[in-house]
Amino acid sequence: MEEFKYTPLNLERPAIRLLSLHPGNDDMMISCELFQAEFHQRENMLPYEALSYTWGSSELSDIIHVNGCHLGITHNLYSALVDLRYQDRQRVLWIDAVCIDQKNDKERGHQVGQMGNIYEEADRVIFRLGSGTNETDLFMESLQRLQKESIRHACRAWSRQDGRWKDLWYSFRPILEEYDDELANLQQEGLREILQRPWFRRVWILQEVAFAKAGTLSCGTKSVSVSLFGLTPLLLGITPDAHCQSVFDIMPSPWRKSTWWSESRSLYRLLLKFGSSEATDPRDLVYALRGISSDLAGKCDDPLFPDYEKPLEKLIYDVIQHIYEFDVTYILKEAPRLSSIREVVSNFPRLETDICRYLAEMSLPDHMERILNKYKIPVSQDMIKVAALYDKEGKVVNVLLRCSGGQLKIDDEVLLCAAANLNGAKEVFEAFWYHQNQLIITEEILIATAKNLGSGHSAMCFLLSLKTQVYRIAPISEAITWNTPASSREEIIRMLLLQKDYRNDTIPEVLTAASEIQDYKLQKEIITTLLQQKDYRNTTIPDVLTAAAKIQNHELQREIITTLLQQKDYRNDAIPEVLTAASKIQDYNLQKEVITTLLQQKDCRTTTIPDVFTATAKIQHQDLQKLIITTLLQQKGSSNNIISEVITAAINNRDFALKTLIMKTLLEQKGSSNNIISEAITTAVNIRDFDLQVEILKMLLQRTEFMAAAAEVQGFNLQTKIKAITATDGIQDSDLQIKIIKVPIKQKGNNANILLEAITTAAKIQDFSLKNKTIKSLLKQKGNSPDVISEFITAAGKTQDPFIKREIIENLLKQKSNSNDTISKGLTIATNIQPFGLMMIKDFVRKNPGFEISRDAVIVAMKNWPGNTDSLQVLCRYFPSLNPGRKQIG
C-alpha cells in the first residue's frame, strides 16, 4: 500500500480538509477518508466535530488507512481514534495532525490562521484527555449522573456558587454506594489526575476551548458534556491552579460570559496569562493566542499572522513592536538578547522600563499613556525612576503619576534620579510636587541636584523655593562650587543664606558662603544676623580668619575679626595655623593686630620651628615676618641645638627672602656668640643653595667674630666656596675677599701648599687691581724662613697656572732679603713661564748687574723639574759663570 500524499489546498480560499472516520470495532484497522471543504459553502458542508488533544510523542508509531493509502500518526491520536470510532456509522472529524499537511509550512500557516473558524464552526469540540483509570472513570461517571440530574431542574439560571449544585451532587451518592466512604476521595483523585493531564498545558487548547459552541469531555471510553465540568472543583473542594482555572472559565457553559473572556483579551494580557503554556513549535505561543486576542483575531494582514517560514527572532521583534506600537529596534539592541517568547513574557517588566525610558527621552507622554491604559500595565518603581532620570519635560512622569492611582512611592531613590536628570530635573520635581504636594527634599537630594551639570541650577532654585526645611549651608555651597557659574552660584547661596537660621552651620561655613554675595547690604545683613545668633566659643580662630579673609569688604572683615578677638583667645589654637589664616587678611593693620595679639598670648616654645617658618613665609609684610622670627628666637633660647634647628629650618624653607631674613635676625640677636657663628659657618658652607650661601657668608663676614670662629670650624674649606663666590663677584668688598682667602691660613698655618692654594683662589678675582692686592698680601704671609720659602718655590713651580707662577716669581725676585739660592731657584722656574719668563730674567739681570747665580741652586731646581734642558741654555746665556759647570749641571 502506498504512502498517503496530500492534494494541495487552495490557499487563496478558506479551504480545509475533513476526515470521515469509518465505522469499526476494536480489532479492525482504522480506515478513513480525507476530503476538502470550504467555509463559504458552509450550508453544503457536512456537520463535523473538531478534536482537541495532545500529540504526546512526535514519533509516528501507528498506521491508519487514508483514501486507501497508509499514513503514520502518533500513538495518542491512534488511541483517540479507536475510542471515538463508532461501530455502526461514520464520524466526520477535523484533526490537525491529519487534516493539515504538517510538512508544508505555508499550508500550516494558512490553516492555523483559520483555526478560530474551524473550532467555532464545528458542531461540537471533543476534548480528549487521554486514557482512563479507575479514578477518572468514577469521576466521569459522577459527572454524567450530575448531567442527567440537572436536566430535571431549571438550573441554567443558577450561579456556580449556588448551593443547589451540591444538593444535586450528593443526590446520586446512594447509587454509587459500592464505593462507600472512599467515594469522595476517589472522585477528588479522578479530578486531580485529569487536571494534571498534558492537555491542560497545551497553548492550542485555549483557542479550541474558547471557540467551541459545545463540547464533550473524553477520557478513555467515557464521555460527558463539558457544560458542568467547571463546577466540579467547587463540588469536590479542590482549587485548580490559575492556568487550569482559566481553562475552566472559558469552556462552553452558562458562565463563560461572566469570566475573563468578556474582558480585554489583548495579546499582551493573554501572554501574561498563558505565556508559560506548552507548544511543540515555540512560535505557536503567539499564533495560538493570536486567534483569541481581541486586538488581532480576524486580521489577515498583520505581522503576527501565522507564518512558519518566519524565524523566531523576527517573530519576537514583531510581537514586541505590536504590543508597544513603535519601532523597538533601539531598545532590543540595548537590551539582553531574548531567545524565546517565554523570555519576552518574563521580561515584560524590564521591557516596559526600557520603553518608559525611551518615551521619556523622546518626550512622548501620549504614547506612554496609551499603552499603560490599553494593557492596564501597572506603573512600577523602576519605571518612575527611569522617567525621573530621563524625562526632559516632566510630562511622562506626570502620566505615570496619574496612571498609578497614587500607588507609586516617591522616595529618596526616585528623587535622587530626578536630581541627576541632566535636561529636566526642575520639570520632574515640579511634577512630583504637583501630584504629591509634600515632598521631603533632604540635604542629600539637594546636594545631588547641586552637582547636576545640566539642569541642576534651575532645579535647585525650585527646591529651595519650596522651603520644606532648613538646610546646612556648607555641604550645599561646596557641591555647587565646582560646577556652577559664579552668577548662578550666588543666586543659590543667596537663597540658602536667606533662611536666616544658622543653628546647624558653623561661623566659617556661613562666612565662606556669604563671601559669594556681591550685594554689600545683603552681605552685611547676613553677617550681622550670624553674629547675633552665634558666638565664637565653639569654633577655631584659624577657621574664622580664613573665612573672614574671603570677605572683600574690609569694614565687614574688621567687624568679624574684632568680634572674634574680643570673644576668643589663642590658647587652643596652634601658632602656624593662626599665622596661615592671618596671611590671607589683606588689611595690613588688621593683620598686624591679629599677629601681635597672637604673639602676646602664645608661647612659641611648644611649637615646631619649621612649621612657624612655613607659616611666616605666607605673610607678605617683612616687618611682620621679622616680628614673628624675633619673638620665636627670644622664646626659644640660644642653645646649640636650638640655633642648629633654626638654621636648618631656615635653609629648608622654600622662601629665599625669608631664609635671608631669618639668618639676618638670628645674627642680629645671637651673633655675639662664637658657637652661633661657628654653627652658622658650618651650616652655610654645606648647603647646596648657592645664592643663600653667598648671602649668609656676606652676613657672617661682617661679624668681627668671623675669623676666630672660622678658624675653629673643622673641615672648613672656605676658599673652595669662595672660588665660586669671587668668580661671580658675589662679594664686592675687597677687604672681605682678602679676609676670606686668608681663612685657611688662619686655620692651618703658614704652610706653603696652603698659601699657594690661597693665592690660586685670589687669582680668580676678576678685578685686576684687587687681584694683585690680594696676592701681594698673601705673599707677605710666607715669612722669611728659608725652609718655608724653599717649599713655597717648589710648590709654585708645580702649579700649572702661568699667571700664578709669574706673580710668585716676580714677587720673589723683587725681595732683596731672599738668599742667592732662593733667587737662583726662582730664575730657573722663570725659564719655564711662557710667555713671561724670558722678560722676567732680562729685567732681573738689568736691575741686578753682576749677580752670580748659584750653581747648586740650579742643580736642585733642575732635579725638581727634570727634562727642562732648555732652562739651562737660557740661564747660561745670561749667567756665564754657569758655563764651566754646565756639563755637571746637565
- pLDDT single digits (tens) 484-539: 676 677 777 777 777 767 767 777 777 777 777 777 777 787 777 777 766 666 67
Lowest model confidence (mean pLDDT) among 35-39, 441-445, 602-606, 610-614: 602-606
pLDDT of amino acid 708: 55
Q: What is the pLDDT of residues 168-216, one digit of tens each?
A: 888 877 666 665 568 888 889 999 999 999 999 999 999 999 999 999 9
Neighbours of 340 (CB within 10 A): 14
Q: Which of 415, 423, 437, 369 is nearest to 392 (CA)?
A: 423
Q: What is the dihedral of CA 844, 848, 854, 858, to 10 degrees?
A: 10
Please state, in angstroms and rounded to a whole number, the distance separating the CA atoms of residues 495 and 465: 8
- DSSP code, position 497: H
pLDDT of amino acid 754: 65
Please state, in angstroms and rounded to a whole number, the distance separating the CA atoms of residues 415 and 429: 8
Please state, in angstroms and rounded to a whole number, the distance separating the CA atoms of residues 113 and 347: 27
Please state, in angstroms and rounded to a whole number, the distance separating the CA atoms of residues 287 and 299: 12
Element (H, E) at 436: helix 425-436
Does the pLDDT value for residue 324 go beyond 70? yes
pLDDT of amino acid 726: 46
pLDDT of amino acid 684: 64
pLDDT of amino acid 9: 94
Q: Which of 91, 90, 102, 9 is nearest to 55 (CA)?
A: 102
**Residue range 94-112: average pLDDT?**
94
pLDDT of amino acid 51: 96
Does the pLDDT value for residue 589 go beyond 70? yes
pLDDT of amino acid 542: 79
pLDDT of amino acid 734: 60
Listing DSSP states for 654-709 in one string gives: S-HHHHHHHHHHHHHHHTT-HHHHHHHHHHHHH-S-HHHHHHHHHHHHTSTTHHHH
pLDDT of amino acid 421: 96
Give the range with max mean pLDDT: 129-143, 465-479, 555-569, 731-745.
129-143
pLDDT of amino acid 739: 61
Listing DSSP states for 309-377 in one string gives: TS-HHHHHHHHHHHHHTS--HHHHHHSPP--SHHHHHHTHHHHHHHHHHHHHHTT-HHHHHHHHHHHTP
Q: Which of 100, 17, 21 is nearest to 66 (CA)?
A: 21
Sign of the CA dihedral running 599, 602, 603, 606: negative
Model confidence at 136, pLDDT cuts 50, 70, 90, reads very high
Listing DSSP states for 714-757 in one string gives: TT--HHHHHHHHHHTT----HHHHHHHHTHHHHHH-S-HHHHHH
Joined grid coordinates for residue 185: 476521595
The percentage of residues in the chain with a pLDDT greater than 70, rounded to a whole number, is 73
Model confidence at 788, pLDDT cuts 50, 70, 90, reads low
Q: How many degrees, rounded to 5, is the angle at CA 849 between CA 843 and CA 851?
A: 100
pLDDT of amino acid 66: 96
Model confidence at 725, pLDDT cuts 50, 70, 90, reads very low
Burial of 163 (0-12, 13-18, 19+ CB in 10 A): exposed
pLDDT of amino acid 307: 92
pTM of whole model > 0.75? no
Does the pLDDT value for residue 298 go beyond 50? yes
Sign of the CA dihedral running 639, 645, 648, 654: negative
Q: Residue type at 662?
A: I
- Asked whether 48 and 32 are in contact (CB, 8 A), the reply is no
pLDDT of amino acid 180: 57
Q: What is the pLDDT of residues 849-889, one digit of tens each?
A: 777 777 766 666 566 555 555 666 666 766 776 666 555 55
What is the arrangement of strands in the sheet containing 49-52, beginning at the earlier edge strand? 69-73, 62-66, 31-38, 15-21, 91-94, 49-52, 124-128, 215-219, 222-225
Does the pLDDT value for residue 17 go beyond 80? yes
Joined grid coordinates for residue 842: 732680562
Q: What is the pLDDT of residues 74-86, one digit of tens each?
A: 999 999 999 999 9
Give the range with max mean pLDDT: 231-245, 561-575, 763-777, 816-830.
231-245
**Residue range 770-784: average pLDDT?**
64
Sign of the CA dihedral running 700, 702, 707, 709: negative
Lowest model confidence (mean pLDDT) among 37-46, 522-531, 612-621, 695-704: 695-704
**Residue range 152-167: average pLDDT?**
82
Does the pLDDT value for residue 338 go beyond 80? yes
Report the half-sphere exposure of 193 (CA within 13 A, side-chain side): 20
pLDDT of amino acid 424: 96
Spell out the SS3 assignment of 804-821: HHHHHHHHHHHCCCCCHH
Q: What is the pLDDT of residues 29-42, one digit of tens each?
A: 999 999 999 887 76
Phi, psi of 120 (to 5 degrees): -70, -35
Q: Quick one: how many helices (H) and strands (E) in the chain?
A: 50, 9
Model confidence at 541, pLDDT cuts 50, 70, 90, reads confident
Please state, in angstroms and rounded to a whole number, the distance separating the CA atoms of residues 414 and 215: 53
Contacts of 29 (CB under 8 A, 6+ apart): 64, 65
- Which residue, chain included where needed, has cell 524565546? 340
In b/e form, how buried is each residue of 463-485, taking b as 16+ CB within 10 angstroms?
bbeeeeeebbbbebbebbeeebe
Cross-strand bridge partners of residue 63: 72
